[in-house]
Amino acid sequence: MARKAAPKHVEPEDESQDLPEDQAELEATEPDDQDEPVTGGKAISKAEAIRRSLAAGHDGPQEGTAYIRREFGIEITPQHWSATRSQMKSRAAKKGNGGGDAPKPKGRPGRKPREAATKGVEGYLAPPPQQKPAVGGQGELLAAMEAMKPLVDSLGKDQVKRIVDLLG
């Protein structure tokens, strides 16, 4: 794309674009009541206008925007009104002022106390402590032999003997 050449010479205008001094002073001192909403001389934001329309009982977007246009002279689309109302409700629910369904924390974050850690992980308990052998070892020997009886029946005594020699 080629650039257009700038004009080489520009003629100055005869008239000034500045306002006459007396008219500039007049505009500076006149209050602008038409653009200013009826709020005691202060301009309000769109969000504040929506808050006031909700406080006045206008719950629908069409009613709320008509109220804001009539009372404050601010143009707001129904979509903007509705989105702002939703944001206000969600913020109120987060703060706890709106009766929302926001879940409350169940405790403080961080590591659990020592007694909670010994209870186990997710319902599982630690294995029981080792029992000391009975006097003379007769109780455990008998239990071990009873446990080997099905093994001897299934594998045979020669196989079990080889297993004992391997482990022994």
Euclidean distance between CA atoms 80 and 130, whole angstroms: 71
Residues 65/81, Cβ–Cβ less than 8 Å: yes
Question: Which sequence spans correspond to the domains of the chain?
Answer: 30-95
- In the block, which residue shows the tokens 């629910």? 93
Q: What six digits make up the tokens of 73?
A: 């002279």
Render pLDDT for 43-94 as a digit per residue (tens, 0 to 9).
Answer: 889 999 999 999 999 889 999 999 999 999 999 999 999 999 999 988 888 8
Render pLDDT for 88-118 as a digit per residue (tens, 0 to 9).
Answer: 988 888 887 544 455 556 677 777 766 655 5
What does residue 121 show for φ and ψ, rounded to 5 degrees? -105, 125
DSSP assignment of 93-123: HHHTSS---PPPP-S--SPPPHHHHTT-BTT
C-alpha dihedral sign at 156, 157, 158, 160:
positive
